[in-house]
């Protein structure tokens, strides 16, 4: 039986978890409605809280009643615990909209109260598990950054924000939270909405754990999450202000990292022998990317590093400390001049510290490569007649050992793209050989299943008869022909249509 009573408005108190919100316009309309009715449109649901009452549902009605000047309001008193009260608040709310961050916070409190999982809570309050999961995403974002109106973003944008590195996430958010910009910045291509939709699909691993398809994209951005880089972009005027600037900023960082890779040889930790650690190198390259050099040319930066670096230590060391190099940059900026003046100032600084200048723009990188090859490379690399850079690149490249030994027999120059192309071809040869051995061990029925399973979706009305005839004719093929078809069915995209391919291979005219 309902317990309906009149209670003084002053005895009512709002709860501290209500996720419902109203705009000023909506609240004004509600206030006008109460003035016309002379009462609240429905009882305010409350529960006992000491000498007063805590509102379960109807907080906006109560606030409007106070605004109008009602001394008492009609209330329904219910007996519920904290969990049930929050459940009633969620179910009964009619006016306004739910703030997803506050709703997620309330859901979290409900789960904590009864030690429930998201799935169990969803079942308890009769909503989808996705509803619980999505609101929790908003809550997570709000806890990280509470000065942003996250309720204006879609769930998808929120998921990206929560998974990106903190610095990148905030910059991306301030640039408009454009998902397309994220993809284009990361992979240098104009990804379409359809591409993104396919990439974002959830998948389940062998342990039955769910993964979001774009987790790899968000993880990719960790390499750009360096405060030194972003501070340099801010000083040089490239700090992003919108999605276009965001993509441009990421592309600048890519060039920066690519340049550093030439000196670090890909080393990012303390495991390297003769490569410079990136964290050390960045104390010097930051001036170049901060537009503090007389000209912004890689050749000048290379000359500077060739003078600064002592390659005979492990790891290589810099003759001038970061602070000393900072002072040199500051002095040059005060003096002004050309890049030749800058180089002269650098040489003078090195001579003052060491009393000599052993190297004058020699190739320090090649010397570091030679030292590491002598100490750690296999014999076939050390004895190769390739140039040093080619030997080093071949040694560090990922590919079949037999092919690397074959390439090491060459002489002269061997470039990175050539190595990559040759090793990729070798990998494919190994893969085809391994797959052919696997197919040769299969029965005819198993091979037929492989072939049909690899076929893409086709138009039944247009291609149905041809496809059926093709499948029927599989029984007429030899074991060798079946293996051949199993190997090459996935190459079908190279042809204008599947039917054309099938007719070409199987002779179904």
Q: 309 forms bridges with which residues in the sheet?
A: 318
Report the pLDDT averaged over residues 241-254: 86
Q: What is the pLDDT of residue 380?
A: 92
Residue 6: pLDDT over 90: yes
Lowest mean pLDDT among 66-75, 173-182, 333-342: 333-342
Report the pLDDT averaged over residues 391-402: 89
Q: What is the pLDDT of residue 52?
A: 92
Q: What is the pLDDT of residue 72?
A: 93
Q: Yes or no: say if 92 and 59 are a contact pair by the CB < 8 Å rule.
A: no
What confidence category does residue 404 fall into, taking pLDDT thresholds of 50, 70 and 90?
very high
Two structure tokens written together for 15? 């709860």
Residue 494: pLDDT over 50: no
Q: Which helix (H) or strand (E) holds 84?
A: helix 82-92
Over the chain, what is the mean pLDDT? 80
Question: How buried is residue 197: exposed, middle or buried, by Cβ count under 10 Å (0-12/13-18/19+)?
Answer: exposed
Residue 344: pLDDT over 80: yes
Question: How far, in Å, CA of 169 to CA of 181, rounded?
Answer: 12
Provide the CATH number for the domain formed by 4-97 in this structure: 3.90.1530.10
Question: How far, in Å, CA of 136 to CA of 15, rounded?
Answer: 20
β-pairing verdict for 72-77 and 97-98: unpaired
Q: What is the pLDDT of residue 14?
A: 92
Hey, which of 203-207, 279-283, 486-490 has the most confident mean pLDDT? 279-283
Instruction: Give the start-to-end residue ranges of the domains of the chain.
Output: 4-97, 377-422, 442-506
Q: Which of 332, 328, 345 is nearest to 294 (CA)?
A: 332
Percentage, residues of the chain above pLDDT 90: 14
Contacts of 445 (CB under 8 A, 6+ apart): none
Question: How far, in Å, CA of 304 to CA of 349, rounded?
Answer: 12
Q: What are phi and psi of 388, to 5 degrees?
A: -55, -45
Two structure tokens written together for 276? 């410079």
Q: Which helix (H) or strand (E) holds 248?
A: helix 243-264
Question: How far, in Å, CA of 374 to CA of 369, rounded?
Answer: 9
Hey, which of 87-101, 231-245, 259-273, 327-341 has the most confident mean pLDDT? 327-341
Other beta carbons within 10 Å of 409: 11
Distances (CA, A) of 425 to 399, 420, 421, 501: 9, 9, 6, 24
Question: How far, in Å, CA of 441 to CA of 4, rounded?
Answer: 79
What is the side-by-side order of every strand in the sheet holding 44-49?
A: 4-8, 72-77, 44-49, 52-57, 12-13
- Which residue has better confidence, 188 or 499? 188
Q: Yes or no: say if 58 and 40 are a contact pair by the CB < 8 Å rule.
A: yes
Lowest mean pLDDT among 208-222, 359-373, 424-438: 359-373
What beta strand segments (E) does 35-89 contain? 44-49, 52-57, 72-77
- Which residue has better confidence, 207 or 82? 82
The Cα angle at residue 69 between residues 63 and 70, in degrees rounded to 5: 80
* pLDDT (tens digit per residue) in 191-238: 777 777 777 776 666 666 766 778 888 888 888 888 888 888 887 777
What confidence category does residue 402 fall into, taking pLDDT thresholds of 50, 70 and 90?
very high
Q: What is the pLDDT of residue 475?
A: 67
Q: Which helix (H) or strand (E) holds 387?
A: none
Per-residue 3-state assignment (H helix, E strand, C coil) for 218-234: HHHHHHHCCHHHHHHHH
Question: How far, in Å, CA of 40 to CA of 43, rounded?
Answer: 7
Q: Yes or no: say if 314 and 273 are a contact pair by the CB < 8 Å rule.
A: yes
Report the pLDDT averaged over residues 342-360: 76
What confidence category does residue 378 fall into, taking pLDDT thresholds of 50, 70 and 90?
very high
Question: How far, in Å, CA of 236 to CA of 245, rounded?
Answer: 13
Percentage, residues of the chain above pLDDT 70: 82
* pLDDT (tens digit per residue) in 23-64: 888 889 889 999 988 999 889 999 998 889 999 988 889 999
What confidence category does residue 272 fall into, taking pLDDT thresholds of 50, 70 and 90?
very low
Distances (CA, A) of 507 to 185, 242, 477, 499: 46, 56, 11, 11
Lowest mean pLDDT among 188-197, 342-351, 440-449: 188-197
């Amino acid at each position: 039986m309902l317990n309906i009573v009149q209670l003084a408005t002053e005895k009512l108190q709002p709860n501290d978890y209500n996720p419902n919100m109203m705009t000023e316009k909506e609240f004004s309309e509600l206030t006008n409605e109460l003035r016309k009715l002379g009462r609240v449109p429905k009882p305010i649901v409350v529960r006992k809280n000491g000498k007063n009452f805590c509102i379960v549902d109807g907080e906006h009605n109560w606030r409007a009643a106070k605004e109008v000047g009602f001394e008492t309001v009609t209330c329904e008193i219910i007996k519920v615990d904290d969990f049930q009260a929050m459940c009633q608040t969620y179910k009964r709310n009619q006016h306004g909209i739910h703030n997803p961050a506050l709703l997620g916070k309330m859901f979290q409190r409900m789960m904590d109260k009864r030690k429930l999982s998201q799935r169990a809570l969803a079942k308890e309050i009769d909503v989808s598990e996705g509803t619980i999961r999505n609101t929790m995403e908003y809550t997570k974002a709000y806890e990280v950054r509470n000065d942003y109106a996250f309720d204006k973003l879609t769930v998808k944008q929120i998921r990206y924000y929560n998974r990106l590195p903190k610095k990148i996430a905030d910059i991306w958010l301030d640039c408009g939270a454009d998902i397309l910009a994220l993809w284009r910045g990361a992979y240098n291509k104009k990804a379409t909405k359809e591409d993104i939709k396919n990439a974002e699909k959830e998948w389940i691993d062998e342990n039955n754990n769910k993964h979001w398809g774009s987790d790899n994209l968000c993880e990719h951005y960790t390499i750009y999450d360096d405060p030194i880089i972003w501070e340099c972009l801010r000083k040089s005027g490239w700090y992003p202000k919108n999605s276009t600037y965001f993509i441009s900023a990421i592309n600048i960082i890519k060039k920066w990292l690519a340049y550093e890779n030439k000196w670090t040889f890909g080393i990012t930790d303390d495991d390297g022998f003769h490569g410079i650690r990136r964290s050390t190198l960045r104390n010097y390259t930051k001036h170049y990317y901060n537009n503090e050099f007389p000209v912004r040319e890689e050749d000048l930066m290379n000359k500077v590093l060739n003078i600064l670096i002592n390659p005979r230590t492990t790891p290589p060391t810099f003759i001038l400390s970061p602070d000393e190099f900072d002072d040199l940059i500051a002095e040059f900026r005060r003096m002004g001049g050309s890049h030749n003046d800058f180089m002269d100032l650098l040489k003078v600084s090195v001579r003052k510290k060491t009393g000599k200048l052993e190297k004058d723009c020699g190739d320090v990188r090649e010397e570091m490569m030679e030292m590491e090859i002598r100490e750690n490379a296999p014999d076939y690399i050390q004895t190769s007649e390739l140039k040093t850079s080619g030997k080093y690149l071949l040694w560090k490249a990922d590919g079949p050992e037999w092919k690397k030994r074959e390439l090491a027999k060459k002489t002269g120059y061997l470039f990175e793209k050539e190595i990559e192309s040759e090793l990729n071809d070798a990998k494919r040869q190994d893969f085809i050989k391994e797959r052919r051995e696997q197919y040769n061990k299969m029965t005819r029925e198993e091979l037929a299943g492989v072939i049909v399973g690899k076929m893409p979706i086709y138009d039944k009305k247009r291609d149905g008869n041809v496809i059926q005839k093709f499948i029927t004719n599989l029984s007429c093929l030899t074991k060798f022909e079946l293996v051949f078809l199993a190997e090459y069915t996935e190459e079908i995209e190279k042809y204008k249509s599947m039917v054309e391919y099938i007719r070409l291979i199987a002779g179904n005219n």
